[in-house]
Amino acid sequence: MGKNGALNGEGTLNVAVIGAGPAGYYTAEALTGTERPVNVDIIDRLPTPFGLIRAGVAPDHQSIKNVSRRYEATNQRDNVRFVGNLSLGRDITLAELRDLYDAVVLATGAGKDRPLGIEGEDLRGVIGSGAFVGWYNAHPDYKDLEPDLRVASVAVIGNGNVAIDVARVLAKTASEMATSDLADHAAGRIHGAPIRDIYILGRRGPLEASFTPKELGELNQLENCVALVDGTQLPDASIDSSLSGAAKKNMAAMRAMATNSPDAKPVRLHLQFYRRPMAILGDKCVCGIRLEETKVEDGKCVGTGVTEVLPAGLVVPCIGYRTSPIPDVPYSERYGHFENESGRIADGLYCVGWAKRGPTGTIGTNKPDGVEVAQEILGEVHPSGKSGRAGLDQIVQERDLHIVTFQTWKKIEAREEAGATAGAPRKKLVDVSEMVRIAES
Ligand SMILES: Cc1cc2nc3c(=O)[nH]c(=O)nc-3n(C[C@H](O)[C@H](O)[C@H](O)COP(=O)(O)OP(=O)(O)OC[C@H]3O[C@@H](n4cnc5c(N)ncnc54)[C@H](O)[C@@H]3O)c2cc1C
């Protein structure tokens, strides 16, 4: 059979993609988009598909989440299956998967927060963005995080869009979040919090920040919160005309922030540049952060020796992520992802997305990765008569594993949509057992 409908016969290539995020879906789409008979099982440890589209992308950025419709279309193909609530490592080993499938593609993302590597980062109240964002986005791993938000001041470390997301979600009012899918448990805490100052701290200057103009510009439009920049940290206005499109827009937004009055709104969001975290301070809980002033010389960030203490009751480092290692898979400790050459790890074993190249780029950046690896697989892996999905089904049955299929995930989705308050897209469920119960009902 051709496109969209492989049979599991002798000539069918059986591929397991581990991870149902963007990288996994783009790979499955490319693998099943030719006339070659290919079956793809997309396996995820969660009962829900779409990886960080659900658990990372900000709850008030629903239009970005619409990309999942494309992945749904991939899942409509007869030769693509979603197998949720099945964890590589917990429920099945890599060796078993490699016995069952002609090729295995690791699309497991980068789910662990990169540590700051400074004193005090284990204090209560220091919460990496992976955990913090996971918590407000209802990722089951973080449902019991219970961050103490009874604080006046928050330090968000990092100068990328994740730092902006975290600051904005903390700054927005309940009515601004009414059309979002912010987790219920997070809404209660965030909207009752006495936060008055939020700092976004960057080691380098405004020109080196990797914000995108849309996300930065949003900070100038918050109902209850005024965005502030110290104008002396901005470069001379004479350089503006030489800046490229995005940098020019960012500079215009920051120049506007430099003219804002700190008293304009009850909450202040400070973008502070040239500040390097030296230590996180506190006894059991964080109470502040020691920063060193920096300057940028020849593109390098160097310390000036001048330090200051910023009071903060919550510190959220947004400085990147690392892939979780898998036994017997070569792993780069330096870069925090699997060792690979253009996505190839070993015969029949590949990686894509953040597990391949680290946590960089946008959702769309994962597409070329997926296409490249799919082409490699189609070019060099040949059907060997392995049992593929039939073999997986047998293991699932023998181990009494409660997997969620795309059809049964739709029951979870329907329940979430039915539970939504007016204007919101869904009320996210957060408990895996409850989701599995609904899927099996
Ligand atoms: C906070 C945040 C906000 C973002 N916002 C945007 C945005 O607005 N716009 C944009 O373009 N990009 C955004 N991104 C980037 C985008 O989310 C990533 O580029 C993309 O999700 C990476 O795709 P991936 O498939 O490699 O990883 P992921 O999306 O992380 O998917 C990995 C999947 O693997 C599964 N998995 C992990 N381990 C196992 C295992 N052992 N067994 C089975 N399954 C496993 C996970 O459950 C997960 O579903 C954001 C990222 C973050 C962190």
In a domain, 427, yes or no: no
Q: Are residues 269 and 357 in the same domain?
A: no
Confidence of residue 335 (pLDDT cuts 50, 70, 90): very high
Both 267 and 310 in one domain: the answer is yes
Banded model confidence at residue 111, pLDDT cuts 50, 70, 90: very high
Residue 318 CA to ligand 1 centre (angstroms): 15
- Bridge partners for 199 per DSSP: 155, 270
Same domain? For 46 and 153 the reply is no
Closest to 340 in 3D by CA, of 325, 350, 348: 350
* Residue 299 φ/ψ region, left for φ over 0, alpha for ψ in the -120 to 50 degree band, beta for the rest: left
- Distance from the CA of 403 to the center of ligand 1, in angstroms? 21
Cβ neighbours around 226 below 10 Å, total? 20
Atom 17 of ligand 1, residue of closest alpha carbon: 52
pLDDT tens for 185-239 read 999 999 999 999 999 999 999 999 999 999 999 999 999 999 999 999 999 999 9
- The strands making up 38-43's β-sheet, listed across from edge to edge, are 80-83, 38-43, 13-18, 103-106, 349-351, 344-346
For the chain, what percentages of helix, strand and coil (3-state, to nearest 5) are there? 35, 25, 45
CA of 46 to the centre of ligand 1 (A): 12
Task: Say if residue 193 is in the same domain as residue 45.
Answer: no
| CATH code of the domain covering residue 255 | 3.50.50.60
- Given 303, 319, 335, the domain boundary residue is 319
Q: Is 363 in the pocket of ligand 1 (CB under 6 A)?
A: yes
- Same structural domain, 340 and 361: yes
Q: Would the CB of 19 count as within 6 Å of ligand 1?
A: yes
Q: What is the DSSP-derived secondary structure letter of residue 88? A: B
* In a shared domain, residues 107 and 141: no
Among 42, 45, 48, 52, residue to substitute to test ligand 1 (most atoms within 8 Å of Cβ): 52
pLDDT over threshold 90, residue 298: no
Residue 292 lies in a domain: yes
Ligand 1 atom nearest residue 137's Cα: 1
* C-alpha span between 147 and 32 (Å, rounded): 43
- Phi, psi (deg, nearest 5) at residue 90: -90, -45
Share above pLDDT 70 across residues of the chain, in percent, rounded to a whole number: 98
Q: Is the pLDDT of residue 88 over 90?
A: yes
Ordered DSSP codes for 327-395:
TTS-EETTTTEE--BTTEEETTEEE-THHHH-S-S-GGGHHHHHHHHHHHHHHH-------HHHHHHHH
Question: What does the pLDDT look like over 342-394, one tens digit per residue?
Answer: 999 999 999 999 999 999 999 999 999 999 999 999 999 999 999 999 999 99
The reply to whether ligand 1 has any atom less than 6 angstroms from the CB of 87 is yes
Claim to verify: residue 289 and residue 351 sit in the same structural domain: no
CATH of the domain at 357: 3.40.50.720
pLDDT recorded at residue 9: 63
Average pLDDT, the chain: 96
Final residue belonging to a domain, choices 290, 319, 348 = 319
Among 319, 335, 351, identify where a domain stops. Answer: 319
Q: How many domains does the chain have?
A: 2
Which residue type sits at 68? S
CA 61 to centroid of ligand 1, rounded, Å: 15
CA of 74 relative to ligand 1 center, distance in Å: 18
Say yes or no: CB of residue 38 within 6 Å of ligand 1. Answer: no
Residue 56 has pLDDT above 90, yes or no: yes
Question: Which ligand 1 atom sits nearest the alpha carbon of residue 129?
Answer: 1
- Domain assignment of residue 308, yes or no: yes
**Tens digits of residue pLDDT in 16-37:** 999 999 999 999 999 999 999 9
Do 161 and 298 sit in the same domain of this protein? yes
Q: Are residues 145 and 239 in the same domain?
A: yes
- Please report whether residue 418 resides in a domain: no
Predicted local confidence at residue 299, as pLDDT: 84
Residue 385 and residue 301 in one domain: no
List, for residues 142-170, the tens digit of each pLDDT value.
999 999 999 999 999 999 999 999 999 99
Q: Note whether residue 420 is domain-resident.
A: no
pLDDT at 3 over 80: no
Q: How many angstroms separate the alpha carbon of residue 376 from the centre of ligand 1?
A: 23
Residues 128, 104 share a domain: no
- Closest residue (by CA) to atom 48 of ligand 1? 51
Whether 4 has a pLDDT exceeding 70, the answer reads no
pLDDT band at 7 (very low <50, low <70, confident <90, very high): low
Q: Is the CB of 107 under 6 A from ligand 1?
A: yes
What is the best residue among 53, 57, 68 to mutate for testing ligand 1's pocket, by most ligand atoms within 8 Å of CB?
57
Residue 303 domain boundaries: 115-319
Gap between the Cα atoms of 297 and 94, Å rounded: 47
- Identify whether the C-beta of residue 47 lies closer than 8 Å to the C-beta of residue 83: no
Instruction: Report yes or no on 1 lying in a domain.
Output: no
Is 157 found in the same domain as 40?
no
The percentage of the chain sitting over the pLDDT mark of 90, rounded to a whole number, equals 96
Residue 49 lies in a domain: yes
Q: Is residue 410 part of a domain?
A: no
